Structure formats: C-alpha cells, structure tokens
Amino acid sequence: MTNREQLLAVKLAALVREKRGSAVAPQPGEFGGGSALMRDGAAWVLLDDRPERGLGPALAWALRQGAAEVNILTEHAAGMLARRAAGWTPPVHVWQINDRVLLPAEPESLPPPTPLAFAHAEFEPLIREAGADPIVEHGVLAGEVDGLEVCRVVTDEFTDAVRLEVGVGAHDREAFQLLHGDRPTGEALADVVRSVREHRRAGADRHPLNLLAQERALRARLIAKPSLIGASDVRPVAPPVARVNVKDAVPCVAQATIASHRVTVVCSTGVDLDVVPFAVDAMAASGSNECLIVVPARDALDIQHRLAAAAPGSIAITPLGTP
C-alpha cells in the first residue's frame, strides 16, 4: 500500500467513525480510486481519483462485497454524484466531505439545453459538403468523420467573428490555422476528411486517428446500420454533460427507434465501470426510461450486467461484434 493509499484509508476510517461511532471495527478493503471499507453490512467508499467518474467503480466494489447499503464520500462533484445515485438497489447515499464532517449531498440538476446560435448553424451545409457529419452538442456545432471530430464552429473571443476551424482538438485546430490559414475552409476540410476516413475505415492499420474517439466510431456504426441493435433508425444526441476534451474517452449518446418506441443508446469502449451511472444521466436528459449500453463484445463484463440490474430504469448491456 502506498503512502497515499494509507492516508486515504486512515481518513476514511476516521470519517466513518465520526459518523457512525466505533462500536464495530470496520473491515477495510482495496479500492483503486480511493479507499473503501465495510461496516455493519454497509459499504463506505471514499472517492479520490476523478471522483466524477467514481460512482460506477464504487458501486461495483460494493456489489462484490454484498453490501446492503452504499455510502459515497467525496470532496468534489457531490451534487452530480447524488443525482446519478438516486433510485439504486441497494440504496446509495452521497456525502459531501466538509473538513471532518459528512453532509448529505444535494442532487445537482442537469445543465439546461443550450441552443445552437443561428450564425453557427449556417456552417452546417459546408460541413456536409466537405464529407463530414454535422453533430450538435450543448450548443456547439462540430463535424465528425466516423465519430472523430475534425472541425468545429467557434466564435472569436476578441472579435466575435464566427468561423469554422479545421483540426482534431483545440491545439490541432490552432496549428492548422497557422499553417493553412490562406486555404479555403471547405477545400481544406475536404482534404482532412479524406485523410481521416482512410484511417478510420474497418481493417485500417493502427494509427492515432483510429485510436481516438472509439466510442463515437461505434455510434457512427450504429447510425449507418441501425439493424445492429434491432432499430429502424439511430440519431446522435448530446451527452448529459458536455465533454471537456474531445480526446478524452467519454461515452456518447444516441436515440434509437426500436419496435416503434424511442430508446436511449449509450456507446462506450474499453472497460468502463462508470458507464451505467452515465446511462442513468443520459436517460434523465432524454426523458426515457429504457437504455441500451452498446459496447464491443470484448468489453462486456459480468459486473456491468450486475450494475445495470441494480440501476433505476431499464438498462441492458448490449455486446457488439467487430465489423
């Protein structure tokens, strides 16, 4: 156990003792994102590393211990975690750490929808003509190629001028502008689209351009072929909370029509234990009570099925084979 892990274990034990007393000695356990222990059949989990993504791993740990109740302790993102923690079986309580005191966390509302500005929407035809797919999320219009963002409409913070920037991520867009600022935007974007599509196609050699945004490549695959999940159509929608960095692996969301009713679809790749709490948020944002979590077959774990069964609403893990 590292020094950090020892400190977190001591901190957690002290917080639980302060809250519940010391009549029964707690049973500590290993938890990679912080520290965890069992006491009187209840799980107590202190989130330390990326607490905003820690609810799923904490619940997975608690389910493996057979906990009858789960207590999540955090200094950050308590409101968001409390929102996602409502309605689970076993019940989940989120506590905000305030010095040595635990306060019940108040659920934080989902951010309200942000409309797309008219001046930004005017770039949609240009994005389509260049061969990219226009995607609108939280008031931002971007163009994707098989799920990878290759352009974005931005407003200059100094001049308020609206322009379409080409590139993958903010730094790439800035570098592209410096190197190719004199080229017509549509022509430059079309060249980038052709190059990126070659690397994103099925069977392409391993390359940075096909390692990024794999969850969005999965969503693009479903949009192109909805029958893979028994749907008649699949369309992209915004995630419940905006992405901070386009190069981060974060689940993405779609809406599908299956048997004449709308179903929320969440796409994820890699071993993501937090995808089920994310799906709870996605359903709330769309007003749906049914969700398919679509993952590559290699990434579907038994514990994800257990988490889905414990979550509110109807959530199913749907493994998908390779193309």
Judged by average pLDDT, the poorest of 57-61, 85-89, 203-207 is 203-207
Q: What is the pLDDT of residue 279?
A: 98
In this model, does residue 31 exceed pLDDT 60? yes
Alpha-carbon distance values, 96 to 41, 201, 311 (Å)? 21, 46, 22
Q: What is the mean pLDDT of residues 224-240?
A: 97
pLDDT single digits (tens) 154-188: 999 899 999 999 988 766 777 666 556 656 588 88
Would you say residue 9 has pLDDT above 70? yes
Beta strand pairing call for 140-145 and 133-137 = antiparallel
In the block, tokens 């509302």 appear at 109
- pLDDT band for 32, please (50, 70, 90 cuts): confident
What average pLDDT does the segment 55-73 reach? 97
Alpha-helical (H) ranges within 51-117 are 55-65, 78-85
Cross-strand pairs, 134: 143
Q: Where are the domains of the chain?
A: 3-104, 118-209, 214-320
d(CA 66, CA 12): 20
Contacts of 147 (CB under 8 A, 6+ apart): 200, 213, 214, 215, 216, 217, 218, 219, 220, 252
Phi-psi category of residue 87: left, alpha or beta, with phi > 0 → left and psi -120 to 50 → alpha: left
Residue carrying the six token digits 């689940």: 251
Q: Which residues contact 83 (CB under 8 A, 6 or more apart)?
A: 107, 108, 109, 110, 281, 284
Please give the pLDDT value at position 323.
64
- Residue 275: per-residue pLDDT: 97
pLDDT in the model for residue 243: 86
Give the span between the Cα atoms of 7 and 264, in whole angstroms: 41
Residues 165/179, Cβ–Cβ less than 8 Å: no
Rg (CA), the chain: 22
Percent of the chain with pLDDT over 90: 77
What is the pLDDT, as a whole number, of residue 171? Answer: 66
The single residue listed with the structure tokens 């999320």 is 137
pLDDT of residue 12: 94
Q: Roughly what angle, to the nearest 10 degrees, separates helices 78-85 and 55-65? A: 50
Kindly state the helix (H) or strand (E) to which residue 253 belongs, with its residue range: strand 252-258
What is the spatial order of strands in the sheet that 314-320 belongs to? 233-237, 252-258, 261-267, 290-296, 314-320
**What is the average pLDDT score of the chain?**
92
pLDDT for 93: 98
Residue 48 pLDDT = 94
Q: Of the ranges 101-105, 141-145, 175-179, which one carries the lowest mean pLDDT score?
A: 175-179
**In this predicted structure, what is the pLDDT of residue 23?**
60
Q: Flag whether pLDDT at 140 surpasses 90.
A: yes
- Per the model's pLDDT, the better-predicted residue between 281 and 23 turns out to be 281
How far apart (Å, rounded) are the C-alpha atoms in residues 278 and 264? Answer: 12
pLDDT at 252 over 60: yes
Give 68-95 pLDDT, tens digit per residue: 999 999 999 999 999 999 999 999 999 9
Q: Is the pTM of this model over 0.75?
A: yes
Which pLDDT value is given to residue 183? 66
Query: Which range has the worst mean pLDDT, 52-56, 137-141, 240-244, 272-276?
Result: 240-244
Statement: residue 59 has pLDDT above 80: yes
**What average pLDDT does range 190-195 have in this prediction?**
93
